[in-house]
Structure 1
């Protein structure tokens, strides 16, 4: 039996005994739910985050993520299964580490993997024999092998991947606010740098997640994630364009979509809206598009879908202007109420929310803008500093126009439609 085999077998045996300590770098919408399912599976988990507020709340057993109720988190903290720290030195004591940091786009549209690089540099300082490193942050194909692996190998000269340590990519599949598909029961794709790496990654994640789907390499797993979100982006772009086309043709786009959805095969229903939001769909396809540009290839579907989707806020602002004109009012000087500003219903997540673009465009045209959102009491983002109006009914009565951007389940839609003087509905809340 080779030393490589002995090291892998020792790791697998510790996983089987639940005698493994796991670090999670990044305690947001991805990292915290992952930390919880590992701890619930009997592993010892330490979360690492630069935000002392998150660390303090977690160590007090208090959750700051809707998908992880405090009633679920607190017992794990009290039992000593889960704790948090800002000190990366704890990595020296950990058998495995998962990287769950943000991967935004720069203003130029290029990928910003600086958070991944920073996390890798910290891990490299404490990398040791038998350690498993898993990247979960969405990125372009090749990042694990071309960016992470060289940094780990350079810092720890002599440690060889697949023999002395293990390296995998396993893309997160988090949909905030969902209760039917969670971190535990959503199948997890896993790509290892070597067969031994894949075996180690599958074993660890298999303890906490019901189904692990192996693929041939980290790049295949990276591409899988981008395909998933590109599929959604392109189809949302298509149905948004259907809305524009139906308007030109004098047709009701929602009627057409509902009728098409009656087909039991060969069609998947998507609906128009105010634009794309969230941590994945507006960003991930552009990672793939950028990577392909470096290979002298234009991802035409991705770029066209992005063009259509990013243009939707402007389309809906024009609808507000048209609706006010019909009421013999000018958009400039009018009071416009934005109903819902989270990027999707029933969550507080504001990342890439199209409501922010809508507010900016309305303000640029001289409107006085307020908003109401039961999940977002205040917002200070991208130059917008506002507080949700306390009384929705009064705000609707005072507004010259209300634009529905986020269709939260808590809203009484018939009453909203009956109260508003003028209404623009981006979500078709009344069928």
Structure 2
């Protein structure tokens, strides 16, 4: 098993021989799609099913958060408990990412994805039951959040099987990020319109239907492949063995210096970026723009992210996108410095759109990471990456709120830019020292001045 600091893995190779799985289409050749750009990725039929399933489940998560928040507030009249429904969408990532991460590689990917969607569908359906206590509603929300990193990591590993490594994988991941950002915009809008027409319970019922549809798409639209880490025998399938494997695998990933450096590069910029985002509602109140202005501010970062991802994936080649990794990683935390001047609504929106464009730094991170991680541990590594990113973002949001209790917003928001710039530069230096950028399936990465 080559290490990230050793020889680069050979070019894209199938994790398992192409085969027809029962109830699914033939597995795609792991050499990936022919051609270039997003169009070539969409030309792979199996990816289209994964993309459609992710679109449905992402919308389901966003709409579920809105509907559950409204439902809890109507039941309790408590702003704290209502807000807690959003926080519970982030914090359980740590639990799922550390205790369940081995699931992504120890069980067949299609089975894991379908089961995760089924769990989410059942949890959303249970929320609809009349008389469900608030504590149970919040617990069901935790269940959805706990399986989310396992689902995300398994899906990321599956993209390697469907599209192959290198450029197709990177573009596939980019399309998933575009869906994530677009779901925030469409989900909040759809959720608001639905809640204006029907009850929160009915909206949660629709959410259960989206998860069910996602599960069916994955079940019948993707091929059955054996577990990446080998088939699980009856003696190894116990809960204790799974927890032990998850914890041991996470420790191995964090102990590997190149992988650890790339994980930090994936985690640190988002943690500082969300600080101004977490304070947009009070900042809108400071400007006196009302709910409409606050909603407009919240759209800024997703719009910038979607535009940047689409343009970079369409207009730039692999080498150019890779060269942007470090510059955009630093740039994404800098626009928050502009909040020191207490910008008006228009200028604040510009700053947020610019912040969102920094998401394009992930092109290089994905390329380096998938080449650095051993093939049999790719699903778990992606699970840990996603869990760590969401957990640290949740903690950063909480700390931003605490800081805003004691300092003015025009101080707290730009402080994230100062701290972020220093932190990202330190992480970039560690990535350079670790040699993580040279562990690539398609040759060394050109040095970036």
Query: Which band: TM-score by shorter chain?
Result: under 0.3
The structure with the largest strand share of the pair is 1
Q: What is the TM-score of this pair, normalised by structure 1?
A: 0.26
Q: What is the TM-score of this pair, normalised by structure 2?
A: 0.25
Q: RCO greater where, 1 or 2, for CA within 8 Å and sep 6 or more?
A: 2
The structure with the largest helix share of the pair is 2
